[in-house]
Amino acid sequence: MTNQRPYARLAPEIIAEIERIPGEITVVSEAEKLADYDADETPGGIRHLPEAVVIPTRPEQVAAILGIATRHHIPVTPRGGGTGLAGGCIPIYGGILLVMTGLNKIIAVDKRNFTAVVEPGVTLGELQEKLDGSGLAYPVHPGEMTATLGGTVATNAGGMNAVKHGVTRHHVLGLEAVTACGEFIRCGGAYVKSSSGYDFTQLITGSEGTLAIITRIILKLGAATTLREILFVPFPSLENAIDAVPDILRLEPQPSGLEFMEKDILDIVTRHTGQDIPRGDHDAYLMIIVDAANTDELHRYFVSAEAICRRHGAAETTVPGDARARRRLLNARENFLPALRAMGELDVIDIVVPRQEIPVFLRQVKALSTAAGIPVIAYGHAGDGNVHLHPVCHNISNEYWQTHLPQLEHDIFVAGIALGGAVSGEHGIGISKKHFLPLQHDEASLDIMRRVKLAMDPDNILNPGKIFDIQARISTKG
Ligand SMILES: Cc1cc2nc3c(=O)[nH]c(=O)nc-3n(C[C@H](O)[C@H](O)[C@H](O)COP(=O)(O)OP(=O)(O)OC[C@H]3O[C@@H](n4cnc5c(N)ncnc54)[C@H](O)[C@@H]3O)c2cc1C
């Protein structure tokens, strides 16, 4: 058990101490400016103001800030682009919001070693721009290009390309990070394997800013895609679509993306973007995204994939054919979340289940949705089992929504975990999903997680209240 003492207020003397740190550093403490930093993209109105926003530009400043925070017992919440969907960067205990966008240099791109060294505030879009034309690519593609690399490492972000290229952690070779007391950890390196002690790189990746602040990242790059095409396939049912997935995954080349979607989300996004997607009237669809070396390979792939889909009930297949039509399809997929948001209040669930369980899970979700009287829209990454579910406050009163959503959410997580799933496939736990983590991990595992946290952050000042509450039981055994 920790004897967690209350955090101190960020007094003007402490702010002045931070302002005296050498080098360019921005400190914002005027109330009217802080309002820009009280939330991320998580729906549901979770908000909390920091006492000050601090924007460093150098790793040594991060160390100095954490040293001051430890000395005065001030909580520190790191923030990247603020695009997170689990409330991870919301400073729920006030204190310092450490905005990492000032560390924004692409330090090196090594074309012979296929690596890049970047600071955490570089966005996915900026890295992509830098790599354009170089023959190299960073293949992790979460839907939001203003997300920072630091944020994507901290959440172990996934995205549409995960089926072929894996998620962020498969591309993080090394890190520099600063612990709560201001010490630097340098782990991993510009090499692809290592059996040399505990792997702090992988421990810090996905730790949502609770163990250390990431100040530098060594990324593994891949070869840039030469040719990308999409096969868009309607199916009579979601079961038919998902049944086709194992056979599709046996084909070479592996698809980069393999997305499932139902009719209702396509109707919603079409209304939102005003761009029609030729799709007929079918219940479910697969979007198969393939990168090939040349048109022959692409053609061979499509012939085989089409045959598989037809065996599983598909009536037809569509290839967009030109760049505009292809962009329209991808654009539709990237706009699912904004289109749903435009409808009103919604929830974001990104549960992952073994991929063959997707139809069973979705049948259960639909039954729960009907019983709760709350519509749930579903789509996701068929290739990796990551199901995106959005209960929406549509045709029901706000009061009904507030009263019945918590039980529906709980029942959905229980169902997914009973099928062998996990709470979050890519967004992280943050604050919005932490109450569900004990459904997945037993108390012994959570206890070890809390011990790891306290070994690296003994005073619990780094992003407190995220993933789990540290005040919870810590076993005294052993
Ligand atoms: C339209 C839309 C689509 C999205 N699609 C996807 C998707 O397909 N896949 C996916 O995985 N996510 C997706 N996301 C979620 C989001 O983009 C990711 O979670 C992303 O990783 C967040 O990056 P960020 O820089 O905005 O981080 P923030 O939201 O600022 O922070 C996220 C977490 O990282 C921590 N953190 C940030 N920087 C650091 C640092 N330097 N050191 C330590 N901790 C740090 C924060 O404390 C917080 O816990 C989407 C979001 C939106 C709005």
CA–centroid distance, residue 43 to ligand 1 (Å):
14
Residue 322, pLDDT score: 87
CA–centroid distance, residue 251 to ligand 1 (Å):
32
What is the C-alpha separation between 263 and 269, in angstroms, rounded? 10
Asked whether the beta carbons of 70 and 40 are under 8 A apart, the reply is no
What is the C-alpha separation between 315 and 446, in angstroms, rounded? 48
81 lines ligand 1 (CB under 6 A): yes
Q: At what angle do helices 295-311 and 238-249 cross, to 10 degrees?
A: 140
Residue 90, pLDDT score: 98
Residue 476, pLDDT score: 45
* Residue bearing the CA closest to ligand 1, atom 27: 151
pLDDT cut 70: percent of the chain above it: 98
CA–centroid distance, residue 460 to ligand 1 (Å):
22
Q: Is the pLDDT of residue 478 over 50?
A: no
Residue 143, pLDDT score: 86
Q: How confident is the model at residue 361 (pLDDT cuts 50, 70, 90)?
A: very high
In terms of DSSP bridges, do strands 376-381 and 257-262 run parallel, antiparallel, or are they unpaired? antiparallel
User: pLDDT tens digits, residue range 147-159?
Assistant: 999 999 999 999 9
- Give me the mean pLDDT over the 164-180 stretch: 97
Q: Which two tokens stand for residue 400?
A: 């009904």
Residue from 47, 77, 85, 119 to probe ligand 1 pocket by mutation (most atoms less than 8 Å from CB): 85
CA–centroid distance, residue 362 to ligand 1 (Å):
26
Cα–Cα separations (whole angstroms), residue 359 to 86, 315, 414, 418, 420: 25, 20, 16, 14, 14
Residue 277, pLDDT score: 86
Q: How confident is the model at residue 473 (pLDDT cuts 50, 70, 90)?
A: very low
CA dihedral sign of residues 249, 252, 256, 260:
negative
175 lines ligand 1 (CB under 6 A): no
427 lines ligand 1 (CB under 6 A): yes
Residue 44, pLDDT score: 85
337 lines ligand 1 (CB under 6 A): yes
Q: Is the pLDDT of residue 180 over 60?
A: yes
Sheet holding 386-391, edge to edge: 227-235, 284-292, 257-262, 376-381, 386-391
Which residue in this structure is represented by tokens 């603020």? 82
Out of 19-33, 167-181, 298-312, 317-331, least confident range: 317-331
- Give me the mean pLDDT over the 400-423 stretch: 98
Q: Where are the alpha helices (DSSP H) in 160-273?
A: 162-165, 200-204, 238-249, 263-273
CA dihedral sign of residues 9, 12, 17, 23:
positive
What is the C-alpha separation between 422 and 411, in angstroms, rounded? 14
350 lines ligand 1 (CB under 6 A): no
Atom of ligand 1 nearest to the CA of 79: 30
- Give me the mean pLDDT over the 47-64 stretch: 98
125 lines ligand 1 (CB under 6 A): no
Residue 2, pLDDT score: 53
CA–centroid distance, residue 159 to ligand 1 (Å):
11
Mean pLDDT of the residues in the chain:
94
CA–centroid distance, residue 223 to ligand 1 (Å):
25
User: pLDDT tens digits, residue range 98-107?
Assistant: 999 999 999 9
Q: Is the pLDDT of residue 472 over 70?
A: no
- Give me the mean pLDDT over the 459-472 stretch: 91
Residue 279, pLDDT score: 86
Cα–Cα separations (whole angstroms), residue 350 to 143, 236, 327: 13, 25, 25
102 lines ligand 1 (CB under 6 A): no
Q: How confident is the model at residue 3 (pLDDT cuts 50, 70, 90)?
A: low
150 lines ligand 1 (CB under 6 A): yes
Atom of ligand 1 nearest to the CA of 214: 42
* Residue bearing the CA closest to ligand 1, atom 21: 152
Q: How far is CA 133 from the centre of its chain?
A: 27
59 lines ligand 1 (CB under 6 A): no
CA–centroid distance, residue 477 to ligand 1 (Å):
36
Residue from 204, 427, 429, 467 to probe ligand 1 pocket by mutation (most atoms less than 8 Å from CB): 427
Q: How confident is the model at residue 468 (pLDDT cuts 50, 70, 90)?
A: very high
Q: Is the pLDDT of residue 315 over 90?
A: no
If one compares 334 and 203, the residue with the highest pLDDT of the two is 203
